[in-house]
Amino acid sequence: MNRETLEMLLIDYIDGKLTPEEKLQVEQELVNNKDAYILYEQLKEVIHTMERSAKLEPTVKLKSSFDKLLEEEIQSTKKPKVIFFQPAFYRVAAAIALIVLGGGIGYWISKYQQQQQELADIRKEVQATKNMMMTMLDNHHSASQRVLGATVALKMERPDDEIIHVLANAMNEDSNTNVRLAALDALSKFNKEQSVRKLLIASLTTQKDPIVQIALIRILVEIRAQGAVKELQRITNDEESLKEVKDEAHAGILKLS
């Protein structure tokens, strides 16, 4: 029996884990092989010494430290996080601020939901149009009908004046910033149209909402509307414009030059 096999078997033998056949094998080896027997005795000593090794006792400090630790942890979870303002005036102010903030958030959430509804409605309409278009293009229809469908599709590539008008209005007049941004986004898709480009540049003069101003400037740069440069320069000099808007305008001028 080779040494490695013997070593593994001996440990299991000492632990009493061998099958009767394996046990016999090992015992034969122990009888015939002196080295095997020595190894066996040594392993037995080591294993038994481990078996009867004393359990170590911790000091009393361990328990007392633990008790202290537990107490601290319990206390720290009990104490609520109190933000304490002195004097009373500030506490009242903080309370009012919280109420206003809470109310304000509620307002914006409902506005957002309203917009989402509007957007959803718009999407439904667009989808309906598209569906109509696609039905017309369907192979089941006659050739002339397919031609018609294709023409409609082509027409959709270029925007409807009515659509542009509505979008431009929304971009310039709507009281809600997000609606304006959405309108701007839609219009910018039609930027190949001269009329649309003119509209976008013109919008720069009337926009007062900095978020929309910045978005508009970025789009004008993207579509390389050189005609906007004059207006951008005006903005950089305009006292009423916000710094961020002026910076954006300035960058825009550099990019368009």
Partner 1 sequence: MTDELLMEAVKNGDLQQTSALFERYNKRIFNFLARLTMDRALAEDLTQNVFLRIIKYRNSYREGARFQSWIYQVARNVFSDHYQVHKNKFSDFVDVEKVSDSLYDPEESETMDEQEKILQRSMAKLSEEQRELLILTRFQHMKYEEVATIMDTTVANIKVKVHRAILKLREHYFELEKI
* Cα separation of the two ends of the chain: 90
Residue 167 to residue 185: CA distance in whole angstroms? 9
Taking CB under 8 A as the rule, which mask of x and - marks residues 87-126 in contact with partner 1? ----------------------------------------
Considering only 2, 16, 21, 74, the residue that binds partner 1 (CB under 8 A) is 74
Q: Specify the residue, 46 or 101, whose C-beta has the smaller distance to partner 1.
A: 46
Give min distance, CB of 120 to partner 1, in A: 39
H-helix segments, 79-209: 88-137, 143-157, 161-173, 177-189, 194-206
Considering only 19, 20, 34, 55, the residue that binds partner 1 (CB under 8 A) is 55
Residue 19 makes contact with partner 1 by CB under 8 A = no
Give min distance, CB of 35 to partner 1, in A: 13
How large is the C-alpha radius of gyration of the chain?
A: 41
Query: Residue 160 gets which letter from DSSP?
Result: P
Residue 51 makes contact with partner 1 by CB under 8 A = yes
Residue 59 makes contact with partner 1 by CB under 8 A = yes
User: Of the ranges 3-11, 108-116, 141-149, 244-252, which one interacts with partner 1 (CB under 8 A)?
Assistant: 3-11
Residue 231 to residue 249: CA distance in whole angstroms? 9
Name the packing angle between helices 194-206 and 210-222 (round to 10°).
Answer: 150
Q: What is the dihedral of CA 216, 221, 225, 231, to 10 degrees?
A: 60
Residue with tokens 């031609």: 147
Other C-beta atoms lying within 10 Å of the C-beta of residue 216: 27
Considering only 66, 85, 90, 108, the residue that binds partner 1 (CB under 8 A) is 66
Residue 33 makes contact with partner 1 by CB under 8 A = no
Residue with tokens 């961020």: 244
Q: Specify the residue, 45 or 222, whose C-beta has the smaller distance to partner 1.
A: 45
Query: Residue 54 gets which letter from DSSP?
Result: P
Residue 1 makes contact with partner 1 by CB under 8 A = no
User: Of the ranges 36-44, 97-105, 137-145, 230-238, which one interacts with partner 1 (CB under 8 A)?
Assistant: 36-44
Give min distance, CB of 65 to partner 1, in A: 6
Q: Are 233 and 254 in contact (CB under 8 A)?
A: no
Give contact residues for partner 1 (rule: CB under 8 A).
7-8, 11, 39, 42-43, 45-47, 49-51, 53-59, 61-63, 65-67, 69-70, 73-74, 77
